[in-house]
Amino acid sequence: MTVDTLCVQGGWQPKKGEPRQVPVYASTTFRYETSEQMADLFDLKAPGYFYTRLANPTNDQVAKKIAALEGGVAAILTSSGQAASTFAVLNLCQAGDHVVSSAQIYGGTFNLFAVSLKKLGIDFTFVDPEASPAEIAKAFRPNTKCVFGETVANPSGVVLDIAKFAKAAHKFGVPLIVDNTFPTPVLCRPFEFGADIVTHATTKYMDGHSSQVGGCIVDSGNFDWSKYPERFAGLVAPDESYHGLSYVKSFGKQAYIVKATAHLMRDFGSIPSPFNAFLLNLGLESLHVRIRRHAESALTIAKWLRKQPKVAWVNFAGLPDSPYHKLVKKQFKGTSPCGVMTFGIKGGRAKSIKFMDSLKVIGIVTHVADAWSCVLHPASHTHRQLTDAQLKAAGIPPDLIRFSVGLEDPQDLIADLKQALAKI
Ligand SMILES: *Cc1c(COP(=O)(O)O)cnc(C)c1O
């Protein structure tokens, strides 16, 4: 089945007389007949549900759809994209370990790594995604456990060369984790280029209607943990909190996701509400139709914007003369990798703000990647603590506007941009 069909019919497969839409199992708990049946569940000896903090059938059906979309073997939903990034790393790392990460990642992920996980004793080395394989290789240490990158970075729009990073990771014997939020599996499937684990903020295009905050982790099943039993002892060696069970021995290719469920969800508890999983699934049913429209409209508008004399610059990887054009052609299905672009107004920060305040159809919100078009000014909003010099160092010019192109008629959006440009 193609990705388009899986968006609609992946995951929940109703049998005769069953509801066609995935049911919302609004239940924290599940009933059994004998004490032994329940004991086997606690020991991970038998499959089944017992407490929604660990697993819930609605969530599992939706995770199954996302696993199929990415071409993976298993997936788990989390309560946010942040939780997905946290768990993806904590499932492999503990205090004393080290991670190599692309420097061009979502600001929230950067803080999580550089501040919060660092406080827990996990060290990060950030590398320029444009770095040569030899430069990337220098970032590895004997205690490196994984590599992290973002397919299309939010907000910089930098495109990750997934194959280059996968090669670097595999040469060192560690997996590559890729945040694939912006393209979604409809436009890019990172496993096809060597990534081992994919994360998502399902909050964005997957939901697509700004109705829930959620995340997902998908495992390709391709990384052979048992080849490095010491490096990945958490997956290979006996887990004392489960009577000495080895995830790899007991669950094979499902090991990474079973550990994330049985260990991290059990202890940290970032499970989404089954109702949110239901909302996410509604979004997924039209993802393939929506994301292509987002990407096409963004390209139309980027081409129009760059011709406007008051616009200083436009950065969109879908533009034919983008430095990422070759990589976009190789890695993405279609001309554009997503519907988000950045641009600047001539005259700097003050003019960009005046322009944004003059928009009527396009709203100012702290969100991206949903049906309603929106803009954000990182220098005044997400990155407002930084000075102009610090902004420059972070790759965010003070005039930068992040523009998420929604599903409205692109001609109406162009008319709105036009009247706002006329006001400055
Ligand atoms: C929004 C976002 C996140 C974080 O997701 P939340 O659901 O807001 O926690 C992570 N990565 C990317 C690329 C994002 O855009």
d(CA 410, ligand 1 centre) in Å: 25
Is residue 57 located within the same domain as residue 204? yes
For residue 215, the ligand 1 atom closest to its alpha carbon is 7
Q: Which residues of the chain have pLDDT under 70?
A: none
Q: What is the CATH number of the domain that holds 96?
A: 3.40.640.10
What is the model's pLDDT at position 383? Answer: 81
Is residue 267 located within the same domain as residue 293? no
Is residue 334 located within the same domain as residue 192? no
Is residue 70 located within the same domain as residue 186? yes
Is residue 278 located within the same domain as residue 300? no
What is the model's pLDDT at position 392? Answer: 77
* Domain-ending residue, one of 250, 283, 316: 283
* Structural domain containing residue 389: 289-421
Structural domain tally of the chain?
2
d(CA 82, ligand 1 centre) in Å: 6
What is the model's pLDDT at position 388? Answer: 81
Is residue 318 located within the same domain as residue 177? no
What is the model's pLDDT at position 379? Answer: 87
d(CA 403, ligand 1 centre) in Å: 16
Residue nearest (by alpha carbon) to ligand 1 atom 7: 81
Q: For ligand 1, say whether the CB of 331 is within 6 Å of any of its atoms.
A: no
Q: For ligand 1, say whether the CB of 107 is within 6 Å of any of its atoms.
A: no
What is the model's pLDDT at position 125? Answer: 97
Is residue 80 located within the same domain as residue 217? yes
Q: For ligand 1, say whether the CB of 201 is within 6 Å of any of its atoms.
A: yes
* Domain-ending residue, one of 283, 313, 344: 283
d(CA 214, ligand 1 centre) in Å: 9
d(CA 81, ligand 1 centre) in Å: 5
d(CA 282, ligand 1 centre) in Å: 19
Q: What is the CATH number of the domain that holds 350?
A: 3.90.1150.10
* Domain-ending residue, one of 283, 316, 350: 283
Phi and psi angles of residue 146, each rounded to the nearest 5 degrees, phi first:
-165, 170
Is residue 18 located within the same domain as residue 96? yes
Terminal Cα distance for the chain, rounded: 50
What is the model's pLDDT at position 395? Answer: 74
Which of 181, 374, 381 should be mutated for ligand 1, with most atoms under 8 A from CB? 181
Q: What's the per-residue H, E or C state across the chain?
A: CCHHHHHHHCCCCCCCCCCCCCCCCCCCECCCCCHHHHHHHHCCCCCCCCECCCCCHHHHHHHHHHHHHHCCCEEEEECCHHHHHHHHHHCCCCCCCEEEEECCCCHHHHHHHHHHHHHCCCEEEEECCCCCHHHHHCCCCCCEEEEEEECECCCCCCECCHHHHHHHHHHHCCCEEEECCCCHHHHCCHHHHCCCEEEEECCCCCCCCCCCCCEEEEECCCCCHHHCCCCCHHHHCCEHHHCCECHHHHHHHHHHHHHHHHHHHHHHCCCCCHHHHHHHHHHHCCHHHHHHHHHHHHHHHHHHHCCCCCEEEEECCCCCCCCCHHHHHHHCCCCCCCCEEEEEECCHHHHHHHHHHCCCCCEECCCCCCCCCEEECCCCCCCCCCCHHHHHHCCCCCCEEEEECCCCCHHHHHHHHHHHHHCC
For residue 82, the ligand 1 atom closest to its alpha carbon is 9
d(CA 84, ligand 1 centre) in Å: 9
Is residue 268 located within the same domain as residue 302? no
Is residue 37 located within the same domain as residue 157? yes
Is residue 319 located within the same domain as residue 272? no
Is residue 256 located within the same domain as residue 300? no
